[in-house]
Amino acid sequence: GDSVTQMEGPVTLSEEAFLTINCTYTATGYPSLFWYVQYPGEGLQLLLKATKADDKGSNKGFEATYRKETTSFHLEKGSVQVSDSAVYFCALSEPGANNLFFGTGTRLTVIP
């Protein structure tokens, strides 16, 4: 079955540090891959997505590349800000259905 494995948190970084949150997936077909962000007390917002192998999604300085050979979609940002503090969810969706499978989430705290 489909699944998403995400790096355990929490992650605490100083402002301007480099961020990597690892995500690997298992899927029967060729899924679309997503990163969602959840700020405290709020719902989820799409951060970026990639729909086929070697696609790179990017938004707000965050990037992730769809790597079919390693079944990975790691999230990176070169310089984090305090405002990036949130929970980040990696997710996949199989063709034919938009049933999002979420990873367990990684809580990021950025300190000044």
Residues that bind other proteins (CB under 8 A): 31-32, 34, 36, 42-46, 49, 51, 89, 93-100, 102-105
Cα gap 24→60, rounded to integer Å: 22
Q: Which is nearer to other proteins, 46 or 82 (CB)?
A: 46
Bridge partner list, 64: 57, 75
Closest distance between other proteins and the C-beta of residue 69, in Å?
20
Which residue from 55, 35, 38 is spatially nearest to 108, judged by alpha carbons? 38
Q: Which is nearer to other proteins, 42 or 69 (CB)?
A: 42
Two structure tokens written together for 36: 């969602």
Cα gap 51→95, rounded to integer Å: 10
Closest distance between other proteins and the C-beta of residue 62, in Å?
15
Q: Which is nearer to other proteins, 19 or 92 (CB)?
A: 92
Closest distance between other proteins and the C-beta of residue 97, in Å?
6
Q: Which is nearer to other proteins, 4 or 19 (CB)?
A: 4
Closest distance between other proteins and the C-beta of residue 46, in Å?
5
Q: Are 76 and 13 in contact (CB under 8 A)?
A: no
Cα gap 17→80, rounded to integer Å: 6
